[in-house]
Each structure stands twice: as structure tokens, then as C-alpha cells.
Chain A
Amino acid sequence: MFESFGLVSFTSHTKVGDVFVAGLVEGRLLASRCASCGEQSFPPRADCVVCRSGDLEWVEISGRGRVSSFTTIRAAPVGLEEWVPYSLVLVDLEEGGRALALAGAGLDVGELSLGTSVRLNPCRSEVNDELRVYYEVEADS
């Protein structure tokens, strides 16, 4: 199921794929939490980096956060040539963890500065008749 995550996919299988992708399809952003020690992670991971437990729980997070850095890509890798220029925003999430994601249509990157409040929004779209799920960065309203 993970092959539908992102705009170009490289990783088709991961232990955290099915639940995470199903969450995005429903419009929910999920972080993993270690059932043993409580360590929370976004993006999710199957194996606890602190206590090495493989038992994980899922928690929904708000996606609220602040801009840590950003850039506009003008030389794209294969498969994304038609996207240029596109902007990537690195977000420090309020509930812990980080995301690197595309700036959504409602986010004016020209007006962005570090520390600006933003929100990571779950998204779905059809690309070449294929369902893609991902998240993008929008202004925090």
C-alpha cells in the first residue's frame, strides 16, 4: 500500500505503510508511539529507537507546526520536471517530529519566514488514474 505515498514512490513496502496510508486516505495524520516506552515518532517507525520494542500504537496528530526552513527547487529530478518551480518546507511539528513537504497552493512562499505557523494537511489526488496520498504544508488559519 505504501507505493501510493508521495508524488514519486521508491519504497513499496514498510511495516508502517498500511495504517499510515489508510489514515491519509481518511484525512488523518498519524504518528507512531512505542507501546512499551511511549517514544513518539513522526514520520512513523516500526522499531523503537529508544527501547528497541517492535510494539507500536498509532496516534493522530494535528499537523500544526512552525517553519524550520524552506527552499524552492528549480532543477528537478526525473519525474518531477513539470513541477518546477516547487517549494519544499521543513516543518517542526508541535506534537514532536518533523516533515518535509510541498508548499500547498494556499501558502505564499514569498511571504514565508522561519518560525511561521503552518499546518501539515493530508491530501489525496489522482495522478495518471492512480491514487496518490501525501501531505502538504498550508498556512495555519
Chain B
Amino acid sequence: MRRVGVIGVGHGRFGLRDDASLQELAFEVYREAVADAAIDPQEIGATWIGSVPEYHKQRSVAGVIQEYLGLDPRPTWLTEAACASGSAALHTAWTAVASGMQDVVLVMGCQKMTELETAAILGLMGRVGDVQWESVFGSTFPGYYALFARQHMDRHGTTRDHLSAVAMKNHDYGALNPKAMFRKTIDRQKVENSKLVADPLRVFDCCANADGAACLILAAEGRAREISDRVVWLDGLGVATAPMSVLRREDLCTLPSAVEAARQAYAMAGIEPSQVRVADVHDCFTIAEILAVEDLGFCDRGQGGPFIAAGETRIGGRIAVNVDGGLKAKGHPIGATGVSMAVEIVRQLRGECEDRQVSGADVGLTHNVGGIGQYCFVNVFRRE
């Protein structure tokens, strides 16, 4: 298989984007990525779009986006893996380029989550779990992560302070990211006085729904080197599944799909977790970042809370995690998130992140979870 590199990136402003349609959000980042790669877009052979269809009024959005980007008659379709749809698009696009089927492709993650009425959004919220055996009792997204948090607190001694440390760190960095939804730091009181959503999780333990888009242009090694002298290589890919239902999960202190995806990605890239300098992980809830740093092997099992609270995941610590603000402060347009993570890591490895740059970053990682772990994608990026 051929080596595949990222030659162009684009990232839009996340948040309430009632100024733009979905395809207009997509165009913003497409324009930026084409300029960044400095290519003729006629070279793009196909587009993979990560987006979760049930939030959009427009049906079958891939074709609509491809048309608006002016890329007809090149093929496109959606990849759907809940909150990991963007990484599903990247993974699928990678296989096309690595196999030799395509030379240059576009990966688009985009989502409008504020298009539907609140009642419709709350209706969707009531169907995130297994609808046959769980949703019938009123299970919710924060409710599932609350079950995880309770078990982690009981078994490993994780505390309220540990959860709050995740939220505070990610807001500190979100404040420095011009594309983030929330650009304000928060203190411990703000987190701890926020309303309970699902005990023990509070409002400031949860990320926010957002609108937004991000995109990548990938190229096969030969063409990538001709086009660019700052290619970031996608050298390790891992993807795995786990039961959607908590009734079929042995252990709620880990996402088994993340452990397996990480194992694959590290093996393929030929690296150890300790070699990763910067990572974007799926902090849909504060407890999720604690599970992530453990599942990825950045610290010992059960030690994620103290590890983060001690500052080890800040810039200057052992490994910088979510220094773009994470889902927590950047916002979570579910189809765009996986691509957004990849854009951030590419920019970190190129050294373009200014006051939140991780110095000397040469290996970076993304960890993107769909649902409560039924899908997980882990990717390792490297610069030469």
C-alpha cells in the first residue's frame, strides 16, 4: 500500500452558525484547504463526507455539498459512525489513496446541529442508546457517561476535582483558539456550581452541540511530495467497535474499542504511546478524556484523573491533550469533529499553532469516539 499524506487543511468557526447553510459551511473550509494545498481542485478525484444525516433537513447531503463545491461529476458519499463520522470519512478516503484507486481526495466533516427545533433535538437525544432495552427507560447521552464516571470514581478514586480539571484545562486552551465556540476560561466554582445533568456530571462536564466544518486534502506519497514540502503523514490507523449497549459491556472504566484501535494504530506506525507529543481526544464529557488518556496508554490504568489534574496533559507536561480546547470548549459538530481533530494535529506538526503550539511536536494522535464507544478511530500522524 502507498503512504498517504495530508497536503491541505481547512477549519471553520465552530458554534451557532445561523449565518450559513451546511454547504456554505463546507465551502468555507474547502476554499481554505485548496488554498493551503495550492492545488488545482480538478485534481481531486473523490470526496468523502463525514456527517450525521438525522440532524439535517436536507436529505442525502453529500451530493448537495459536492455540487456546491463545484466538484461534480467526481463521486461522493457519506460515512456515518455517529460522533466519529468525520474519522470514518478520513479512514475510508485513506484506503482509496493507499490502494492506488485515487491519488488526491477531499475529506469533509460538516454538521449543522442547530437546524432542527429543540423538541426534535431532544427527541433524537432520547434515542442515543439501545432503543429496544435502554431508551425505553429514559437513558440519555450524559446518563451513560455518568454511569462510566460513577464506576471510575468507585474503582479508581477519581474525584470531582479531577473532572473539573479536564473542563478548566480545555477552556484555558479554547480561549486561545480563534475557531472555538467558547473562548473563555472557567474556574473550579463555575464547574462545580453548574447544574447537575446526570449525577455526577454537571453542565460544565458536557460538551456543547455546535455547527461547523473542517476538511483535509490527502495525496499519495509521490504526488504529495511534488505538491508540498510540509506534508504530514498519516502513518498509523486503527479502528474498532464495541457493543452499543451498556448491557453488553464488561467494564465501564474503559472503551474497549479505543484500546483496540490504539493498539492497531501504534503497531502500524511503529511507535509507543510515550512518543506521542500532542493528541486530540474525544472529550464529549470530562470523564471521557480521563478514559481516553488511560485507553491510549498515556498514563497507567485508573490514573487518568490525577494525571490530568497534575498538569501532565497541558503544554509543557508529559503530553499535550486537547490544546485546541477539545470538544468541551471548541464545540462538537458531530460529523466535523473527527476531521477537526486531524486538522489541529496537522497544524501542530507543521508548527502553526502560535500561542498554543507544542514545541518540537513531531508525532501526533487523534482519538475519535462514536456514541458511547460503539465506534472508535485512532490515527497517528507524523512529520518528517
Q: Which residues of A contact B (CB under 8 A)?
A: 5-11, 14, 43, 68-80, 83, 86, 88, 90, 97-102, 113-114, 134
B198 close to chain A: CB less than 8 A = yes
Q: Is the CB of A10 within 8 A of B198?
A: no
13 CB-based A-B contacts, threshold 8 Å: A7-B138, A10-B135, A70-B147, A71-B150, A71-B200, A72-B196, A73-B138, A74-B195, A77-B123, A77-B135, A78-B122, A100-B133, A113-B154
Tell me the nearest residue of chain A to B200, going by C-beta: A71
CA distance A77 to B151 in the complex (A): 24
Tell me the nearest residue of chain A to B120, going by C-beta: A78
Tell me, rounded to whole Å, the shortest Cβ–Cβ distance linking B254 to chain A.
14
B132 close to chain A: CB less than 8 A = yes
Indicate the member of B200, B201, B247 with the most A CB atoms within 10 Å.
B247
Tell me the nearest residue of chain A to B151, going by C-beta: A69
CA distance A17 to B286 in the complex (A): 38
B127-142, CB < 8 A from A: 127, 131-140, 142
Tell me, rounded to whole Å, the shortest Cβ–Cβ distance linking A7 to chain B.
6
Q: Is the CB of A99 within 8 A of B199?
A: no
Q: Is the CB of B151 within 8 A of A68?
A: yes
B353 close to chain A: CB less than 8 A = no
Tell me the nearest residue of chain B to A74, going by C-beta: B196
CA distance A83 to B140 in the complex (A): 13
CA distance A86 to B196 in the complex (A): 13
Further contacts, 11 of them, CB under 8 A, given A8-B135, A69-B151, A88-B138:
A5-B136, A10-B127, A69-B154, A71-B150, A74-B195, A77-B135, A80-B138, A88-B139, A100-B247, A101-B137, A113-B154
Q: Is the CB of B147 within 8 A of A69?
A: yes
Q: Is the CB of A76 within 8 A of B140?
A: yes
Q: Is the CB of A100 within 8 A of B122?
A: no
Tell me the nearest residue of chain B to A77, going by C-beta: B126
- Chain B contacts for A8, CB-based, 8 A: 126, 135-136, 138
B69 close to chain A: CB less than 8 A = no
Q: Is the CB of A43 within 8 A of B247?
A: yes
CA distance A77 to B125 in the complex (A): 6
Tell me, rounded to whole Å, the shortest Cβ–Cβ distance linking A41 to chain B.
10
- Chain A contacts for B137, CB-based, 8 A: 6-7, 88, 100-102, 134
Q: Is the CB of A78 within 8 A of B123?
A: yes
CA distance A101 to B137 in the complex (A): 6
Q: Is the CB of A11 within 8 A of B126?
A: no
CA distance A85 to B201 in the complex (A): 14
CA distance A102 to B139 in the complex (A): 10
Q: Is the CB of A79 within 8 A of B143?
A: no
- Chain B contacts for A83, CB-based, 8 A: 138
B1 close to chain A: CB less than 8 A = no
Q: Is the CB of B131 within 8 A of A11?
A: yes
Tell me the nearest residue of chain B to A43, going by C-beta: B133
B101 close to chain A: CB less than 8 A = no
Tell me, rounded to whole Å, the shortest Cβ–Cβ distance linking B110 to chain A.
25
- Chain A contacts for B135, CB-based, 8 A: 6, 8, 10, 77
Which of A10, A78, A90 interacts with B136 by CB under 8 Å?
A: A10
Tell me the nearest residue of chain A to B248, going by C-beta: A98
Q: Is the CB of A71 within 8 A of B147?
A: yes
Q: Is the CB of B143 within 8 A of A14?
A: no
Q: Is the CB of A98 within 8 A of B246?
A: yes
Q: Is the CB of B147 within 8 A of A90?
A: yes
Q: Is the CB of A72 within 8 A of B199?
A: yes
Tell me, rounded to whole Å, the shortest Cβ–Cβ distance linking B122 to chain A.
5
Which of B126, B140, B198, B247 interacts with A99 by CB under 8 Å?
A: B247
B220-256, CB < 8 A from A: 246-248, 252
Tell me, rounded to whole Å, the shortest Cβ–Cβ distance linking B135 to chain A.
6
CA distance A99 to B154 in the complex (A): 20
Top 7 nearest A-B pairs (CB, nearest first) are: A6-B136, A77-B126, A71-B146, A10-B131, A69-B147, A98-B247, A80-B138
Tell me, rounded to whole Å, the shortest Cβ–Cβ distance linking A69 to chain B.
4
Tell me, rounded to whole Å, the shortest Cβ–Cβ distance linking B292 to chain A.
19
CA distance A61 to B225 in the complex (A): 64
Which of B132, B201, B246, B247 interacts with A10 by CB under 8 Å?
A: B132
